Structure 1
Amino acid sequence: MNILLTGGAGFIGTHLTKKLLDEGHIVLAVDNFGSNYDPALKRRNVAPFEGRPGYYLFEGDIRESSFLHLLFGTYAIDVVVHLAGLAGVRPSLQQPASYFDTNVTGTVTLLQTMRDFKVSKIVFASSSSVYGERNEIPFRETDRIEELASPYAISKRTGEMLLQNYHQLFGLNAYCLRFFTVYGPNQRPDMAISRFIQRLFDGERIQLFGNGQSLRDYTYVNDIVAGIVRAIERVNGFEIINLGGARPVALIDLVRKLEQYTGRKARLDYRPEQPGDVSQTAADLTKAAHLLGYQPRVSLEEGLQRMVNWFQAEHTSLLEEK
């Protein structure tokens, strides 16, 4: 199968690339190597795939119609996996225009190109942030979406609505996967777990916003990848599907686990709650199990230990100096 993968040099994208190549698929990876975080990290992410049979990397922007038309006109594409976009709640409060330009305009341009070239299947990376602040857990795909808390959440919800519209108007087959706080090796350095591990080893203070009791449904990247692969295989019609870890944990408890696995004591710096943050996330996985056979297999404890081990292997000389 020929799979066009946008955001192919990112954290989830490179984990997915390895899985798809291992299964014998052709991966047409697209990335603009933008500066939302260090482009050198993204280039390091894709370096292991250079020269692998079936892997092709294209540097370009999904907002550029001419770039996409050249790509779609050159290769026969069976399915698109759309991971590209700006991520993160707090940065979207400072750069809302950039988020809408990349996440909405980019998605529209991609969908129109798919229509032009009669490519009818897409798997889209959405986010648990679309649920906003709510008291009832777990979050179900049938929940009403009313009070989105950030421009990032709005941009992702808009993406879902666009795919639904293209399904209704043009018969597009689209699965929107709502990811719940994905973590693992090569995670973006601005994400909480990456920052916490770095600061534990550096002996720097860890900032906790609020009282440390906010709940997050953390999902190990291998489980997310397994869900995406099943979606690629089964995408038909239009569906919104949660992919989570199904075991929310309080932020302070996450830090305590990282203390245990790093052997370092955290220096905590409590800060006021941040605009755009929500108090809890928790995924109902009933639909994912039914449609995708999805079941998270990596516990938070195992996943955090793997991530700490990876960090230590990547930063051996730095840690020795400390």
Structure 2
Amino acid sequence: MPVTSVTTDPEALTMTLVGDFAAPVERLWKALTEPAQLERFWGPPGYPATFSEFDFTPGGRASYVMTSPQGDRYGGGWEFIDIDEPVSFSVLDYFTDESGARNDEMPLQRMVFRFEATETGSRLTNVTSFTSSEALEQVIAMGAIEGSTLAINQLDRVLQDLREYAQGKGTQTEILSDTHVRITRLVNGPRELVWRAHTEPELMKRWLLGPDGWRMSVCEIDPAVGGRYRYAWEPLEGTEGEGFGFDGETLVSVPPVRAVTTEHMTGTDYPSTVNDLNLYEEDGATLITVLIEYPDKDTRDMVLATGMTEGMETSYARLEREVLAG
């Protein structure tokens, strides 16, 4: 992981994050100073940021909202103080309320981003200074150390060319915590069509089949927030196995970028998971990312042991072959 340390100094009232990356300083600078790049990692997994304003000039402002898988929104903003490309820039960092205005009831801090070349690439040092020990303790209690580590650790895949990062690797499964797993798969095709393939029944029935020898017998989707879906599969003649299905509700929908749904195995008392689908397009290819939140570690391990990754790879390969190639 690129983040090598996150330390706090109660006497100096600072929190310092250091990360090392296999990319030149200029590329790292671009990732931290362009909103389209920031949106890919500024926010821990499951809480992506959307920037509505980004005036990268001294005195300019940036505004963003992080949206949780349950649809809860957390706003923040920066006021740029000074910029020394590509060495450093500093901002006043603050929380915002529902209207986007600065929330003066929450801590205000100064952040300095410093960039330097290393033998293997570049280093980011981010120093956050607080106005009081109470403000420092409050932000730490809110999960700033864990959240910033998870967020910046996503930078690796942003800094690489998308095809270089994922091409030829198939479906990849990463265990992020006891309850979180991230699935990624690069497919050759535009994001708009990949989104349609996840939300239109006639397209979904062509690829979301798992292993060969099965068919999707039910595919009912209401992709709007609050809408419900129901899927069912059954084996073709000559294939062993019993039919099964899933049902759930859409929690977040931002076409054609993000959809968050619950997932429950129909007819069982198994607990539901929360599946957070994100699509990112670059140079005609789309990176599919699914962040899955399980109720506990045992459920996570049970699902992974079913061969979920292999089944998803079969379906994604079929998506490229049967939908995107046409």
**TM superposition score normalised by structure 1:** 0.26
**TM superposition score normalised by structure 2:** 0.26
- Between 1 and 2, higher relative CO (CA 8 Å, sep ≥ 6) is seen in 1
Q: Which has the larger radius of gyration?
A: 2
Normalized per residue, the structure richer in helix is: 1
Normalized per residue, the structure richer in strand is: 2
